[in-house]
Chain A
């Protein structure tokens, strides 16, 4: 039942430009990993490869349950990512976004559970407003609620605290702390404060 994420001899190039070269590591549950490196060093690309959203040029990424490898087309069921490159539906309310994504994830959320999620990210009063009317920080918070509703075993955070005020940062720290002890956490960031939260750090610099 122990879930692990393994990266084997991974490399990624865009045309002639090699972004990631021969990278290998393993993270198991419970565990946490930080990925850092200057802008353009391939942090976001690596995160996308880990989510199977982008294929690597060479090598592979595998999620294993004990010894059994999970088919790459099923991986999305085990992980969720929060990144500035993703968005929620602006023409739906906070509640409607939660409901829609929980149906897609195959999770049944009753009203109290939805409230709990919104409470946790501090959006309980704005749940019936269209996301269109949210500030960028609030949108970021709602993304956390949506990602957490699926209770993912692996949580990937790309620039987790950008855009957030102090209250928002505190909420994210709480989520990070809980995910680190109960599941797997991977953070891509350049914030020294965020990197203190993880056990291991990989530096992407070539």
Chain B
């Protein structure tokens, strides 16, 4: 029963975000209407990272517990993360076209880090597909997940400093965006961030419930 109300609550929140993100004035005057994508792009990018963190936590846990459920949680979060990562890449690319005039640039560290996450997710899923035995799938892919993790902070924190020494300020990204987060903009953004995060955890929980049902069915059979 509680679950039902939470679902309705999530629906209302997301519907509200979509509605208000379009009827309120555009959040950034220079870019104009297209800047509304910001309400969606940032939550997607954020959830890409959250999903990887969840994947990583359950990967570490799986190496200790060796429970198939932990392995499934890890995998399921990676699958959801891949979806958010694709959405973040596409919305980011559109955003880049409008702001900087190109769909893609390698000198923007945030775009690069999202792209690297896409590669890691892709590599993780192909690795799983290439291992025949289920037990081994879990162990080996968990190890890869942990190994690839240190590269993520690199692109977010260290890369910008190193690129500075490579490229002077005349790069494409010279025009930095300053969002003056006024009251309404900030409110819509925070609600959007919150409700998409809840959406992720709802999907995550849904997958696990489905997995448990299938597991108990196959045990009965």
Contact = CB atoms under 8 A, between A and B. Distances in A.
Contact of A16 (B133, B135, B218): B218
Size class of the A contact interface (CB-based, 8 Å): under 10
A15 interface: yes
B132 to A, nearest CB: 11
Contacts of A14: 133-135
B66 A16 contact: no
B218 A55 contact: no
Nearest to B133: A14
A53 to B, nearest CB: 13
Nearest to A15: B134
Interface residue SS majority, chain B: helix
A16 B134 contact: no
A14 B134 CA distance: 8
A55 B66 contact: yes
Interface in B187-221: 218-219
Interface in A52-89: 55
A14 B218 CA distance: 14
Interface string B137-165: 00000000000000000000000000000
A206 B218 CA distance: 20
Interface string A11-28: 000111000000000000
Contacts of A15: 134
Contacts of B66: 55
Interface of A: 14-16, 55
